[in-house]
Every structure is written in C-alpha cells, then in structure tokens.
Amino acid sequence: MGGDDSGVASDNFDWNTEDELEIENYQSSCLTVPNGDAVTGSGDASSSAVLANSKVLDHFVGMGFSREMVSKVIQEYGEENEAKLLEELLTYTALESSPPPQTLIVTDPSSSGNAGSSWDDFSDTDIFSDEDMEKNISDSENDDTLRTLVKMGYKQEEALIAIERLGPNSSLDELVDFIGVAQIAKAEDALLPPEEKLQYNGYAKSNKRRFYECEVLGRKKPRGCEKKIINDDDEEALHLPNPMIGFGVPTESNFITLRRLPEDAIGPPYFYYENVALAPKGVWQTISRFLYDVEPEFVDSKFFCAAARKRGYIHNLPIQNRFPLLPLPPRTIHEAFPLTRKWWPSWDPRTKLNCLQTCIGSAKLTERIRKAVENYEGDPPDHAQKYVLDQCRKWNLVWVGRNKVAPLEPDEVETLLGFPRNHTRGGGISRTDRYKSLGNSFQIDTVAYHLSVLKEMYPNGINLLSLFSGIGGAEVALHRLGIPLKNVVSVEKSEVNRNIVRSWWEQTNQKGHLYDMEDVRELDADRLEQLMNTFGGFDLIVGGSPCNNLAGSNRVSRDGLEGKESSLFFDYFRILDLVKNMMSKCR
C-alpha cells in the first residue's frame, strides 16, 4: 500500500500542493497569443514590397502576425535574428491590444499567502484529482500570453522561447509545461535534493492526468499497473523496459499486450513518431505529453537484426496481429557476416553489434588494436583484451583478418538496417554522407513490424505524410510490407537524402505521387489544406525528429529538446495536430 515514505505532509514542503494549485489556476483560463484577428493589417503592402519574398516574413505571418507589422519589424532589425524579431513582434502586439482586465488570480510562487481557500484539500486528493476540470472556462481571449507568463513569474526570455517553440496557438498550460521542463533541464541540483526535484518535475508534468493503461494477458504482468494508479507518482511511469521489447517483438513474444489509448490520441490519422530511447532525463515525458499522453514503446532493434538500436516510438496504431517482414534478417554477427567467423577471437564474446552511428572508427584506431594483439602467441593478456573489446564495442568493429579489425562498409550498414543494397549509393552522395544518412535512419524490420497492422486496413494503399524522411525509412518499410503508396508528402532538409528517396521511388515503379518538400517549418495550415484537398487527408503521419541534441554521442550540444535541431519535434507535433484537427472537422 502506498504509504512508503511519502510522509503525511507534516512538515513536508508543499511543492505539490502549491504547484497543483497554480496549475489549476493557470489552466482555468485558456489564453492565446493575439493572432488571427491581428491579421487584418489594413492591406497596406507599401512597406512590405521589398520583403515580399522573405521566408522569415512568411514564417511570422504564418504565426498570425500581420504582414504589415512583421515587415516593419524586419526592416528595423533585419531578418537574421528570429528570436529578436519575435520578441519585438510580441511587444508590439502587446502594446496594440488594450490591456485586458486581469481576470486571473495569479498566486506568487514564493508566497503561500492565499493558498487557503478552496484548494487546501488538494494534498489529500491530489492523487485522485482526475476531475480534469472543464478547462477553458473563463476563456478570456484577449489576454496576452506573454504578459501572463511574465506575471506568473517566468522570465520573459523563457516565455518567449516557449511561445516560439510551441507556436502562438498553444494553450497556456502547454507553455507552462514547456517552461517547467526547460527550467528543470537547466536547473542545477544544488538546491534540490533528489526527491523534491522529482516532485518539482512532477509539477511540470500534467494536470490532465496521464492515463496509461496496459494489461497483459498470459504470463507476466507488468508490475504495478493498478498499483501505479493508486500509488501514482507520475515519475516512474516512464521506465525503459528490460528487455527492451516494447509491446512485443516477433522473436520473444509469448504474451500479448493490450493497451487503451487516451481519447485524444485516437485517429485518424494514424501517427508514428520515433527518436532515441536514451535521451536526457525528462525528454520522453515531454514528448509523450505533447503526443496526447501516449505511452512510448521502447524497442531495441537487436531483436530484429544483428545490431542494437534502442529507440522510442510513440504511435496510435493497433498493436495486435503484427507480423514481421520476410525473410527474417540474420540476427547475429556471424550470420550477417559469415566471413568474420574465421578471424573472430574466442575471447570476443560479441554476438550483436552496437548501435550503428553516423561516424566510423578511424584507421589509426584499427592500427592501435592490431599492435595491441599481434605480439602474443596465444590469447592476449587481460588488459589488452579489455582495451580491444572496449574499442570494438565503442566503434562497432568486426574481425576481417588475423589481428585485424575494421569498421563496417556502407553497404553492410544498409543491409543491417534493412534497406535494399546500394540504396544510398551513387547519385552524388559521398561516402561520409552515406554513413551519416544511414546512421540517422530507421531500422526497417523494426518499423515495418509496427506498421504491419496497416496492411489489412488499407488494401488499396495509403496517403502518407513523412516528416524528416531522411533516406525514406518509412516509405521503404511500407513498400516492403506490400502497402501501396498512393500519395506521399515527404519533407526532408538534406538534398542528397531527397535525391535518394526520389531515386528509390522511381526504381521501384511506384504508382502513386511523391511530393518533395524541404523544411517542416514551411508546412503550414494553408499548405496542408492545399495538399489535403488534392487527395483528401492523410492516413499516416510518420516522423523521427532530429536526435542531434538528444543523442549520447554528442559531446558538444546535447541540449535536450530545446536544442537547435531537436526542437523541431515541436513542428512534428504542430503539423500532426493541424492535420488531426482538419481531419476531425471534415468528418
């Protein structure tokens, strides 16, 4: 039974209480940045003539600012610094809109003054506080979000970043969540002992109670399903499964997993999101919260092929009656590369490769390894073995000759990942870029297994929106499943990658249409509507947003979801949400 050390609030800090309280307060008013109504910029295009073709201008107009105002600001500050521009735009907007009557009761986080009213029994009930409040009650539409956030005690800079990332139409509690997570990411632990940090984290988590429900029929029950609901700390709701088999893999699933999706997550469209499993703390909580509180499915591709690939997938697909691609790929190093067997030392126990990354081991390193092992009659001493094994694991080296290790060739990586041979070869791509593109891609068998449920649902094919397409992992997976591709909108920044997908599309005699696009940020509501009108909606939206700032290999800029590239996740969410809304309207 719960209890544990959660103490009876005696002299506990009431982080929880207070935070919950604030959240509820914030939540009770759904504020939006002034948009829409400001668009009517009196059509005066005189000043914007020069900038008629500016991407930046379109960007901000797309966010809901008037063309007139945007061009004014751009002329004044240039279009280099978008953050600065946004700041100015928000300031101008705030000045223009008459200061609204402050209907909010904003409690100062540092004072517990007025916490005594109707909220004080929260500490008792807060675990059951699912009453999920009719949100958006006092819809004071003209309130300025930025102003409100600042009044709440957030720094203007933080608020601006949040608004920029989430877009002007995001709800206030999304913004607050974002800032909270950002703060935690930055906060040094100095002030907060672990437990309180967790609770603080939990604050940022959600008012809307996350509801993961999973049930296992058959053998094992995942520990504490119902316990979680009672004892619930939102904390450990996200843990990596061990073994990392998600909701099941073809090779070792002797039990069936059922899940119930949150209402908001149910399609159409179906969506499928992917990123690295070993992201910094809190990242997957945030991603999950944005993607309609769907529980991530963490899967290691080592259960599908000969290389590990620990990834998290968030999707709203059915998970029953999945089937794997055939033929099943080799699942050990020896099966995948039989020629290595002859040279494989008995003291190298590896049977699986580690994650295929974007860079390979250097020649110097393989030379050092050769020198470390070649001067011994029998097996090298322990320290040499350890050194060699560590490096081989780190750089995924295989034995290709006596005392000789080497990194994988690009076509070997292609094979391991499930792509057709030479998929990334030729057509103007360098070897270095090949490694990079492959290292950033899906493992086809893994993804195809998840997408296989679509086959019987769409015998006539699907319309696919593929964001961050890369070298077309989603397209290849669906094609190999035998699911016809009717219309594919593929958004990918890298030109060589777009060429690869285009080339594959033509080589495989696709009957459908492939639409290219370069930047997800240019995919706005208008563009989507235009596309969807031509072929009517999307059946599936796939995307693995950039992992640069999440991946452990990044020593320089592992900045989390706010990172320069990885923050494009919010564009995945933005676009998914747009399509979702458009499609629910059209029904």
Partner DNA sequence: TCGATTATGATTAACAGG
Partner DNA sequence: CCTGTTAATCATAATCGA
| Nearest to DNA of 223, 511 (CB atom) | 223
Take residue 570 and report the two structure tokens written for it.
């919010």
Tell me the sheet residues that pair with 514: 488
> Residue 359 or 586: which CB sits closer to DNA?
359
The amino acid at 481: L
The torsion angles phi and psi of 570, rounded to 5 degrees, stand at -65, -20
Which residue, 198 or 528, has its beta carbon nearer to DNA?
A: 198
CA distance 329 to 481: 15
Rg (CA), the chain: 26
The answer to whether 441 touches 414, Cβ cutoff 8 Å, is: no
**Would strands 540-544 and 462-467 be described as parallel, antiparallel, or unpaired?**
parallel
Binding site residues, DNA, CB under 7 A? 239-240, 242, 274-278, 280-281, 308-311, 354-355, 357-360, 362-365, 390, 393-394, 428, 430-433, 439-440, 544-548, 550-558, 565
Determine whether 547 is an active site residue: yes
Cβ-Cβ contacts under 8 Å for 474 (sequence gap 6 or more) = 272, 442, 447, 451, 464, 466, 542
Amino acid at 182: A
Question: Minimal distance in Å, beta carbon 307 to DNA?
Answer: 8
Q: Which is nearer to DNA, 177 or 300 (CB)?
A: 300
Which run of H or of E encompasses 488? strand 485-491
- Cβ nearer to DNA, comparing 214 with 365: 365
Q: Indicate the residue among 12 and 554 with the shorter CB distance to DNA.
A: 554
Name which of 287 and 464 has its Cβ closer to DNA: 287
Contact 424, 410 (CB under 8 A): yes
Q: How far is the CB of 361 from DNA (least distance, A)?
A: 8
* 478: CB partners within 8 A, 6+ apart: 448, 451, 454, 462, 464, 485
In 337-430, where does DSSP find H-type helix? Answer: 363-373, 382-395, 410-417
We find the least distance from the C-beta atom of residue 558 to DNA, in angstroms, to be: 6
Q: Which of 30, 355, 392, 547 is catalytic?
A: 547
Strand ranges for 316-401 from DSSP E: 398-401
Q: How far is the CB of 299 from DNA (least distance, A)?
A: 12
Three-class secondary structure of residue 223 per DSSP: coil
Secondary element (H or E) of residue 56: helix 55-62
Q: How far apart are the first and last CA of the chain?
A: 46
Distance CA 516, CA 499 (A): 10
Dist CA 558 CA 554 (whole Å) = 6
Shortest approach of DNA to residue 290 CB, angstroms?
A: 16
Query: Shortest Cβ distance from residue 346 to DNA (Å)?
Result: 17
What minimum distance in Å lies between the beta carbon of 543 and DNA?
Answer: 9
Helix, strand, or coil (residue 53):
coil
The residues annotated with a catalytic role in the active site are 547
